[in-house]
Amino acid sequence: MRKIDLKSVIWKEGAYYIAQCLEVDVSSFGKTKKEALVNLQDALSLYYEDVPMPKKAEVNNPMIASIELQHA
C-alpha cells in the first residue's frame, strides 16, 4: 500500500465545516473540523479505489485570493 500526501482546506458554511482536497476534486463536510476531515479521508479513499495512484495535481504554497467577476 502506498502513501500519498494530500492537502486540504476547511471552512465553515452555515452549521457545517466543508473540507476540500486541493489536489483532486473531492470534498466532504461535517459538524466539526475533525468530522469534516474524517469524512474527506473516507471520500478520498473511495475516489482512489477507482483512480490509479497517483492522479493528483501538485499544489505548492496555496493562498486564498479574491477576484471580481461581472456577468449579465
Q: What is the pLDDT of residue 55?
A: 58
The whole-number pLDDT of residue 64 equals 74
User: DSSP letters along 6-69, please?
Assistant: --EEEEEETTEEEEEESSSS-EEEESSHHHHHHHHHHHHHHHHHHSPSP------S--------
- Tens-level pLDDT at each residue, the chain (72 residues): 667 888 899 999 999 999 999 888 999 999 999 999 999 999 998 888 876 665 566 777 877 776 677 776
pTM: 0.72
What is the C-alpha to C-alpha distance for residues 20 and 13, in angstroms, rounded to an integer? Answer: 12
- In the prediction, which pLDDT does 31 show? 98
